[in-house]
């Protein structure tokens, strides 16, 4: 496919999305019909679509319309590309710009330039003050890819060498001791032998940093109460000798965990609310709570436009329920840790304040707030204990 044909494909996918289809089915619908598209074409089309999702408002302003064409015109204008080369009308390229399209388009307003829904900006300002613009700007860019070295299998330098043999360049992360930043060919990682042999797991550096901060509190037992796919359970098992139990309300989310644990040379049993022994207590109960994911919106930009005030309130109620249930499982001298990959105060500091207000006898011991940046996703962690 020519670059122009790739942009034409992205326009079609973005139009389906704007008409109400979720982005994955919209992309897959195109990909299924595009037998002529090789893996590089598919990756390039996906990149254009996701760039446009991340920068929806600013691209629509520069492109003069919130349509697939408008977003892609805005993208080309924003990135200094040649509109006449992409919109040439030849072969499978998009049609040339009309007079009206050439005349349309303007510099985005301050809110549009942040590429955030209007209702969210004041909430981000509450959390970040003068840094709000910089934080929004980070979320407009592609996310870095990080791996966690599995220390029970290898070390970071050996992992970097092993990746290089498969044409993947990577370097030690500047801040997180177990993390490696992939600097070339990230799409090869999923099928690399480093992953299939259990030398590493894909995990953002901020997720790893949260586990590092909790290692001193692990004691002899950790309950990963909202384990999901179990990335943090595996990190705990690699970094501590504590017994780890992975728990989630949805068993299906943990389906791959036993296999991943076996590959890493560790054992991580799983439980659900139906099987969890609620009479048992743990030195550390870790709640990686369901949240808006706003600290990771670079990876899932669709979610930025899908979140509503009503959904945020629903999430806050779920977060409160998780904290209440988890607190009862903490041993007398143990710790309760609450984390989200959200950057919204409502899901973070406010949830801790509400828990402490309604649950006498608990105090906050430590807090970590990680701003989304070139080095990792946004994260929040609070560590609580009985007074």
Ligand X SMILES: C[S@@+](CC[C@H](N)C(=O)[O-])C[C@H]1O[C@@H](n2cnc3c(N)ncnc32)[C@H](O)[C@@H]1O
Residues belonging to the active site: 341
Using CB under 6 A as the binding rule, whether residue 269 contacts ligand X is answered as no
Nearer to ligand X, 250 or 262 (CB): 250
Using CB under 6 A as the binding rule, whether residue 228 contacts ligand X is answered as yes
Distances (CA, A) of 287 to 180, 228, 316, 320, 368: 25, 11, 14, 11, 14
| Partner residues linked to 368 by β-bridges | 381
* C-alpha to C-alpha distance for 359 and 377, rounded to whole angstroms: 30
User: What is the closest distance, in whole angstroms, from the C-beta atom of residue 249 to ligand X in the complex?
Assistant: 4
User: What is the closest distance, in whole angstroms, from the C-beta atom of residue 131 to ligand X in the complex?
Assistant: 24
Q: How many residues does the chain have?
A: 387
Beta strand spans in the chain (E): 145-149, 170-172, 179-182, 200-202, 221-224, 243-247, 270-271, 282-288, 330-340, 362-370, 379-386
> Site for ligand X (CB under 6 A): how many residues?
17
Q: Which of 65, 334, 301, 93 is nearest to 216 (CA)?
A: 334
Instruction: Classify residue 20 as left (phi > 0), alpha (psi -120 to 50) or beta.
Output: left
Using CB under 6 A as the binding rule, whether residue 288 contacts ligand X is answered as yes
Contacts of 195 (CB under 8 A, 6+ apart): 189, 201, 202
- Among 74, 290, 295, 378, the residue binding ligand X under the rule CB under 6 A is 290
Using CB under 6 A as the binding rule, whether residue 248 contacts ligand X is answered as yes
**Residues numbered 162-221 forming contacts with ligand X, rule: CB under 6 A:** 207
Nearer to ligand X, 222 or 227 (CB): 227
Phi, psi of 283 (to 5 degrees): -65, -35
Range 306-312, long-range pairs (CB < 8 A, 24+ positions): 307/117, 307/120, 309/119, 312/344, 312/346, 312/347
Nearer to ligand X, 5 or 383 (CB): 383
State the Cα angle at 19 between 301 and 305, rounded to 5°.
Answer: 25
320 is in an annotated binding site: no
- Considering only 135-143, 191-199, 242-250, 362-370, which stretch makes contact with ligand X by CB under 6 A? 242-250
User: What is the closest distance, in whole angstroms, from the C-beta atom of residue 336 to ligand X in the complex?
Assistant: 14
204 is in an annotated binding site: no
Nearer to ligand X, 62 or 304 (CB): 304
User: What is the closest distance, in whole angstroms, from the C-beta atom of residue 145 to ligand X in the complex?
Assistant: 16
User: What is the closest distance, in whole angstroms, from the C-beta atom of residue 236 to ligand X in the complex?
Assistant: 10
Using CB under 6 A as the binding rule, whether residue 250 contacts ligand X is answered as yes
Nearer to ligand X, 57 or 146 (CB): 146
3 burial class (0-12, 13-18, 19+ CB within 10 angstroms)?
middle
**Residues numbered 306-365 forming contacts with ligand X, rule: CB under 6 A:** 318, 321-322
Using CB under 6 A as the binding rule, whether residue 123 contacts ligand X is answered as no
Feature table: binding site for S-adenosyl-L-methionine:
248, 288
Feature table: binding site:
248, 288
The residues binding ligand X (CB under 6 A) are 207, 225-229, 231-232, 248-250, 253, 288, 290, 318, 321-322
């Amino acid at each position: 496919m020519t670059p122009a044909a790739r942009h034409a494909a992205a326009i079609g996918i973005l139009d389906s999305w704007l008409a109400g289809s979720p982005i994955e089915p919209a992309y897959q619908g195109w990909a299924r019909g595009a037998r002529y598209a090789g893996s590089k074409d598919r990756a390039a089309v996906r990149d254009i679509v996701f760039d446009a999702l991340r920068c929806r408002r600013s691209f629509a302003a520069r492109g003069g319309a919130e349509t697939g064409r408008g977003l892609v015109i805005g993208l080309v204008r924003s990135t200094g590309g040649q509109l006449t080369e992409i919109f040439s009308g030849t072969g499978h390229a998009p049609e040339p710009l009309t007079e009206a399209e050439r005349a349309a388009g303007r510099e985005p307003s301050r809110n549009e330039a942040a590429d955030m829904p209007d209702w969210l900006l004041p909430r981000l300002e509450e959390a970040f003050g003068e840094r709000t613009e910089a934080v929004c700007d980070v979320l407009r860019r592609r996310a870095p890819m990080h791996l966690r070295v599995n220390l029970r299998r290898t070390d970071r330098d050996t992992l970097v060498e092993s990746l290089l043999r498969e044409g993947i360049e990577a370097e030690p992360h500047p801040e997180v001791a177990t993390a490696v930043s992939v600097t070339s060919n990230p799409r090869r990682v999923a099928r690399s032998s480093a992953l299939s042999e259990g030398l590493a797991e894909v995990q953002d550096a901020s997720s790893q940093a949260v586990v590092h901060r909790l290692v001193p509190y692990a004691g002899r037992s950790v309950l990963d109460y909202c384990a999901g796919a179990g990335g943090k359970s595996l990190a705990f098992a690699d970094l501590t000798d504590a017994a780890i139990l992975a728990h989630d309300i949805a068993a299906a989310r943990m389906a791959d965990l036993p296999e991943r644990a076996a590959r890493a040379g560790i054992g991580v049993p799983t439980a659900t609310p139906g099987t969890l022994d609620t009479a048992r207590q743990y030195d550390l109960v870790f709640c990686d709570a369901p949240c808006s994911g706003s600290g990771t919106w670079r990876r899932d930009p669709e979610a930025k436009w899908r979140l509503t005030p009503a959904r945020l309130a629903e999430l806050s109620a779920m977060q409160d329920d998780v904290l209440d249930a988890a607190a009862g499982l903490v041993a007398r001298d143990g710790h309760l840790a609450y984390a989200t990959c959200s950057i919204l105060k409502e899901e973070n500091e406010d949830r801790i304040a509400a828990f402490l207000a309604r649950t006498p006898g608990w105090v906050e011991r430590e807090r970590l707030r990680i701003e989304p940046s070139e080095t990792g996703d946004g994260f929040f962690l609070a560590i609580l204990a009985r007074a």
